[in-house]
A and B are shown apart, each in its own frame.
Chain A
Amino acid sequence: MTGDSTSNESGKGSTLVYPGQRLSADGSAQAGHGVRLIDGNLVAMKTGNMVRSGNTVTIEPLSSRYVPRASDLVVGYIEGMTNNIWFVDIGAAFNAILPMSLAPWKVEFGAVRQHLGIGDAILCRVQEVDETHSSVVTMKGMGLRKLKSGFIEEIPPHIIGKVIGKGGGMLQQLKSLGQSRMIIGQNGRIWIDGELSGMSETRKAMDVIRDTAHLPGLNERVAALATE
């Protein structure tokens, strides 16, 4: 199997690959996510870590757009509206729609602007995604609301796991670093709220995570910020 190893390749392991790289020609491996079978060769279609799990070869992308799934908690921006729906940018290939029936207020037909205007940030949940990749979001649910304070930091969706950490450890570290409240959207948008000085510390930590998430020792680097 070609590529640069970052760990043991027997059975389950990861290797950095680039688009067009030939992964296997032995005919036994199966193509998973991010891999295509072309002329009998498994070919990497994205830049990422190749992971061989049993007989299946997949690519974990190192850069990706958010792909919405039902029940995802996301932070969205209002991009437009009609008389009865809002169009919400959730960072996916397509905008989601928020019907007025799924808003937390009683909204009159034609009066949507009174509740949410263009540019407003909202915390919402993906209700459904159809076969054309269009999604519907809802604000009916515990904690779902318009975000009026704080700021929103964006990270690539595939490193959300690093921001949360094992058992939520990294997230707790970030919250105590900046004494801030944080809500992580599955679309890579993180809402941070608190005192200005604390939010600034949290932002520095987010920059460290964004730039070095793929390198070992992330916990130590973030912990070092607390001692500075």
Chain B
Amino acid sequence: MGGYGDIQCIDENGIRLDGRTAEQMREVEIECGVIPVADGSARVKWGKNEVIAAVYGPMEAHPRKIQRQDRAILDVRYNMAPFSTTDRIRPGFNRRSREISKVTADALESVVDLELYPRSKIRVEIEIICAEAGTRCAGITAASMALADAGIPMSDMVVSVASGKVHDIVVCDLNKEEDNYGEADLPMGILPMTGELVFLQMDGDLNMEQFQQAWDYNMESAKEVHAIMVEALKRRYGGDE
């Protein structure tokens, strides 16, 4: 990370390559119930990212050795489709998708009431259809939405947003160029009702002041995304209100 090439991601007026200001998010669209055969599902369009998540379960956990006697297990699989980026991604699991699957599962386990379903499994599948920076954030958000659509009991919905730093300026919701050529990236998983954190990673360098600013951007953006998630649930279940 950090300063490769001559790409100017933000100009002297604070306008970014895609026309946003430093604190603006990309456009987010969320729809749930997009996969009829799944117990719950959601599609998230976040900028040019497109992610579909599906939830199945709770179901019997197989093989038996993976069952936990006191709670369900959350089996999360994050995968990028080979056509999701300009360079073809080799199909199948790799280290990055394993890492993202694990952090997503850890984030969601903080809110899902797993003790209600001992010895069972809840399967979460996240498929990236189109990637343009911030896929793990869009994936976590989509998975949370799919769990809510499936009626899985949760204490809150997880919203994930990433802010970062380009040319020493903290910006909200990095796009592709900012992610590739910027100096820092701070994705976070937030519980919008309490402001608690369930997921945090950081690449690059941020001093305390910049970290605080990125934190604030993420918290504000999480509230906006949460409102969009609630609207999506109302459209699916509430009719024309």
Contacting pair A34 B153 (CB below 8 A) = yes
Contacting pair A95 B150 (CB below 8 A) = no
Q: Mark A90-104, 1 if CB is under 8 A from B, else 0.
A: 000111000000000
Chain B residue at minimum C-beta to C-beta distance from A210: B36
Cβ of A87 to closest chain B Cβ, rounded Å: 9
Q: Mark A29-60, 1 if CB is under 8 A from B, else 0.
A: 00000101010000101111000000000000
Q: Mark B146-173, 1 if CB is under 8 A from A, else 0.
A: 0111111111110000000000000000
- Beyond A6-B238, A45-B113, is A133–B118 a contact (Cβ under 8 Å)? yes
The residues in A between 69 and 92 inclusive whose CB is less than 8 angstroms from any CB of B are none
Contacting pair B156 A94 (CB below 8 A) = no
- Beyond A20-B157, A46-B151, A93-B117, is A4–B238 a contact (Cβ under 8 Å)? yes
Chain B residue at minimum C-beta to C-beta distance from A207: B36
- Beyond A45-B155, A62-B237, is A93–B57 a contact (Cβ under 8 Å)? yes
- Count of A-B residue pairs with CB < 8 Å: 87
Instruction: Give Cα distance in the complex from A38 to B193, angstroms.
Output: 12
Chain B residues closer than 8 Å to A6, beta-carbon distance: 238, 241
Instruction: Give Cα distance in the complex from A62 to B147, angstroms.
Output: 12
Chain A residues closer than 8 Å to B152, beta-carbon distance: 46
- Beyond A94-B119, A94-B120, A133-B118, is A61–B60 a contact (Cβ under 8 Å)? no
- Whether, in the assembled complex, A215 has its beta carbon less than 8 Å from a beta carbon of chain B, the answer is yes
- Whether, in the assembled complex, B234 has its beta carbon less than 8 Å from a beta carbon of chain A, the answer is yes
Cβ of B106 to closest chain A Cβ, rounded Å: 18
- Whether, in the assembled complex, A64 has its beta carbon less than 8 Å from a beta carbon of chain B, the answer is yes
Contacting pair B40 A63 (CB below 8 A) = yes
Cβ of A7 to closest chain B Cβ, rounded Å: 12
Contacting pair A63 B119 (CB below 8 A) = no
Chain B residue at minimum C-beta to C-beta distance from A214: B237
- Whether, in the assembled complex, A19 has its beta carbon less than 8 Å from a beta carbon of chain B, the answer is yes
The residues in B between 180 and 214 inclusive whose CB is less than 8 angstroms from any CB of A are 191-193
- Whether, in the assembled complex, A65 has its beta carbon less than 8 Å from a beta carbon of chain B, the answer is yes
Chain A residues closer than 8 Å to B117, beta-carbon distance: 93, 133
Instruction: Give Cα distance in the complex from A193 to B7, angstroms.
Output: 66
Chain B residue at minimum C-beta to C-beta distance from A95: B60
Chain A residues closer than 8 Å to B230, beta-carbon distance: 18
Contacting pair A93 B59 (CB below 8 A) = yes
- Whether, in the assembled complex, A16 has its beta carbon less than 8 Å from a beta carbon of chain B, the answer is yes
Contacting pair A63 B150 (CB below 8 A) = yes
Q: Offer 21 A-B interface pairs, CB within 8 angstroms, sorted by A.
A: A4-B234, A4-B241, A16-B233, A16-B237, A16-B238, A18-B229, A18-B233, A19-B156, A20-B156, A20-B193, A22-B193, A34-B153, A43-B193, A47-B149, A63-B149, A65-B58, A93-B117, A93-B120, A133-B117, A133-B118, A215-B239
Residues of B whose CB lies within 8 Å of any CB of A are 39-40, 57-60, 111, 113, 117-120, 147-157, 191-193, 229-230, 233-234, 237-239, 241
Q: Which 3 A-B pairs have the closest CB atoms?
A: A20-B156, A63-B151, A45-B153
Known contacts A19-B111, A62-B151; 8 further A-B pairs (Cβ under 8 A): A4-B238, A19-B155, A20-B111, A21-B193, A47-B237, A93-B59, A94-B119, A214-B239
